Amino acid sequence: MATPPSDSSPINVCIIEDHSDFRNTLRAAINAAPSLQCNAAFSNAEDAFEYLNESGAPDIIVLDLGLPGMDGIEAIPKLRELAPETKVLILTVFENKTRVLQALGAGASGYLMKASGIKSIIQGIEDAHNGIAPLSAEIAQMVFATFRAFKPVSHEAEISDREVEVLQKLADGATRIEVADQLHVSRHTIDSHIRNIYRKLQVHNVSGAITKAAAMHII
């Protein structure tokens, strides 16, 4: 059972969900929880914008992504602008990695799947209010796997300016011999730079080095 917050004020929740049956079920479940209340529920983002302009900000906005009119991801920055202190919690059927990362990057405070069930959703709303970013298990695994793929370069292994220059020329399509000629150094020197780049970026070929360097905004 949900535990009321210490100040006895219920957490004010706004729902933006276009499926009326699910919206009504979720609203009833929120209002049945002693720590929560839902005073507003909308089928689209545009009506929610108007409500926020007129009635002020709730504590939590539960937002679907597949909305009519403005898409949920597009709506997040506007919701954050109208209610900067409000936590936006995504609740959707979408588990596409691109949409997950887009939503979190746009400012969502958590990402839950509808299939998680009402009990988990209620807990997620409370967690978001308490500063914990709720993520469904499958979403958390996806996010962590994405970030593990790009290990940061340690301070001791920073890419030098010369190595960046070599990488950029390789990324532009130059061969090692052409890079050596353009930089007026020997092929052996270029090979040495490339070995250092591989070690620092923890990759094993030129394409891997270029891809990782681009992802890390080194080039």
155-215 and 11-148 share a CATH fold: no
Q: How confident is the model at residue 138 (pLDDT cuts 50, 70, 90)?
A: confident
In whole angstroms, what is the distance from residue 41 CA to residue 47 CA? 9
Q: Is the pLDDT reported for residue 19 higher than 70?
A: yes
Residue 35 structure tokens: 């720590």
Inter-residue long-range contacts of 75-80, CB under 8 Å, 24+ positions, other chains counted: 75/16, 75/45, 75/48, 76/103, 76/106, 76/107, 76/108, 77/106, 77/107, 78/45, 78/49, 79/45, 79/48, 79/49, 79/52, 80/106, 80/107
Q: How confident is the model at residue 28 (pLDDT cuts 50, 70, 90)?
A: very high
CATH topology for the 11-148 domain = Rossmann fold (3.40.50)
> Beta-carbon neighbour count of residue 95 at 10 Å?
14
Listed in order, strand segments (DSSP E) in 55-212 are: 60-63, 87-92, 110-113
Q: Is the pLDDT reported for residue 101 higher than 50?
A: yes
Q: Is the pLDDT reported for residue 5 higher than 80?
A: no
Q: Is the pLDDT reported for residue 144 higher than 80?
A: no
Once rounded to an integer, what is the mean pLDDT over residues 29-50?
A: 96
Q: What percent of the chain lies above the pLDDT cut of 90? A: 56
- At which residue do the structure tokens 């070995």 appear? 195
In whole angstroms, what is the distance from residue 14 CA to residue 40 CA? 5
What mean pLDDT, rounded, does the chain reach? 87
Write down the pLDDT at residue 210: 85
Contact 13, 33 (CB under 8 A): no
pLDDT digits (tens, 9 = 90+) for 104-133: 888 899 999 998 899 999 999 999 998 888
Domain residue limits, the chain: 11-148, 155-215
Q: Is 46 exposed, middle or buried (0-12, 13-18, 19+ CB in 10 A)?
A: middle
DSSP single-letter state for residue 135: B
Q: How confident is the model at residue 153 (pLDDT cuts 50, 70, 90)?
A: low
Q: Is the pLDDT reported for residue 185 higher than 90?
A: yes
pLDDT digits (tens, 9 = 90+) for 66-76: 999 999 999 99
Once rounded to an integer, what is the mean pLDDT over residues 33-39?
A: 95
Q: How confident is the model at residue 7 (pLDDT cuts 50, 70, 90)?
A: low
Q: Is the pLDDT reported for residue 4 higher than 60?
A: no
Q: Which CATH number fits domain 155-215: 3.90.870.10, 3.40.50.800, 1.10.10.10, 3.50.50.60?
A: 1.10.10.10
